[in-house]
């Protein structure tokens, strides 16, 4: 035990999409702060497992396809069966599809809304049932700049991430009194697979960099401190907040 309110020792966190990108950055930061991690992944996660174990924490791999709600209850029960409890859920897994609004297909709408919003809600529900039974917990949703802005050519992504902002507040209204904190992190422009097309497009890359006060793309590790804070006892009265980690993008 320690008096450090940011210490996550003894806590267990589920991180979805923890094999790569922002999910990996957050999973490793939570482990370095003391948490054991259940990584939900559909791909090889050996790199993340290695980094969690290097931090001296346990890593449990839960294979699941988050395009449907089917695995939600199993993700929570496997975590509790193997790691003993559940204190933190990070809803990170997400996808993006790009097309003009005039040509946008129903498939590109449904795929993004299902993973980014519907599964986020039902996994939160499964996690909160466990957390409330245990006395509390923390849910951290990964939002976006498009929780605040409109974006362009990403209709279903904007709808999903705007929805993530709304659900973060709704769930706070329902669960704050039950000791479950629900907050979101809104990453700015972070160098991951999700943004590979933007980074490769010389014009878009220049326009993006010109607007970021920090004058650089974010790295997945830049999200770690915000996640540790929101997962920790230090944030117990932080509720329904959407914390931008964006190098100053929204300040422009
Ligand atoms: P990424 O590198 O593409 O990672 C996305 C993660 O979600 C991967 O682990 C991916 O697994 C997982 N995933 C997607 N669909 C899944 C499914 N059906 N089942 C299981 N896992 C699934 O992108 P990222 O940038 O780290 O994105 C992480 C989150 O941050 C997303 O919610 C994204 O919208 C959000 N975000 C990113 C940025 C940015 O600038 N990068 C900005 C704002 C918000 P696979 O590797 O197997 O595909």
Name the phi and psi angles at 59, rounded to 5: -125, 125
Helix H or strand E segment including 83: helix 72-83
User: 13 has which bridge partners?
Assistant: 37, 88
**Residue 75: DSSP 8-state:** H
**Residue 176: DSSP 8-state:** G
Burial letters 23-40, b for 16+ CB under 10 A, else e: bbbbbbbbbbbbbbbbbb
pLDDT in tens, 221-232: 999 999 999 999
Which of 217, 219, 96 is CA-nearest to residue 152? Answer: 96
- CB–CB of 239/182 below 8 Å? yes
Structural tokens at position 164: 């993530």
If you average pLDDT over residues 8-18, what whole number do you get? 98
Ligand 1 centre distance from Cα of residue 4 (Å): 31
pLDDT in tens, 170-188: 999 999 999 999 999 999 9
Pocket of ligand 1 (CB under 6 A): 17, 19-23, 42-43, 65-67, 92-95, 115, 142, 144, 187, 189-190, 192-195
Name the phi and psi angles at 222, rounded to 5: -65, -20
pLDDT at 1 over 90: no
What pTM was computed for the model?
0.98
In the chain, the domains with their CATH numbers are: 12-192+221-243 (3.40.50.720)
pLDDT in tens, 77-111: 999 999 999 999 999 999 999 999 999 999 999 99
Q: Checking DSSP bridges between strand 180-187 and strand 137-142, what pairing results, if any?
A: parallel
**Is-catalytic flag, 157?**
yes
Q: Which of 62, 194, 200 to mutate to test the pocket of ligand 1 (most atoms within 8 A of CB)?
A: 194
């Amino acid at each position: 035990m320690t008096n450090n309110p940011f210490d996550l020792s003894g806590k267990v966190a589920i991180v979805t999409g923890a094999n790569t990108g922002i999910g990996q950055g957050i999973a490793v930061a939570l482990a370095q702060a003391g948490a054991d991690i259940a990584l939900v992944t559909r791909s090889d996660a050996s790199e993340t497992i290695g980094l969690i174990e290097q931090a001296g924490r346990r890593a449990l791999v839960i294979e699941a396809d988050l395009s449907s709600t089917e695995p939600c209850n199993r993700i929570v029960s496997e975590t509790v069966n193997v790691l003993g409890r559940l204190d933190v859920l990070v809803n990170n897994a997400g996808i993006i599809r790009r097309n003009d609004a005039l040509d946008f297909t129903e498939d590109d709408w449904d795929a993004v809304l299902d993973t980014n919003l519907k599964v986020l809600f039902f996994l939160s529900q499964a996690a909160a049932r466990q957390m409330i039974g245990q006395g509390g917990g923390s849910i951290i949703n990964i939002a976006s700049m498009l929780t605040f802005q409109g974006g362009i050519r990403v209709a279903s992504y904007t709808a999903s991430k705007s929805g993530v902002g709304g659900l973060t507040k709704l769930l706070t209204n329902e669960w704050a009194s039950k000791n479950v904190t629900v907050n979101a992190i809104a990453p700015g422009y972070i160098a991951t697979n999700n943004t590979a097309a933007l980074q490769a497009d010389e014009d878009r890359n220049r326009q993006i960099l010109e607007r970021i006060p920090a004058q650089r793309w974010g790295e997945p590790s830049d999200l770690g401190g915000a996640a540790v804070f929101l997962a920790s006892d230090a944030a117990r009265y932080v509720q329904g907040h959407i914390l931008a980690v964006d190098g100053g993008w929204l300040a422009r």
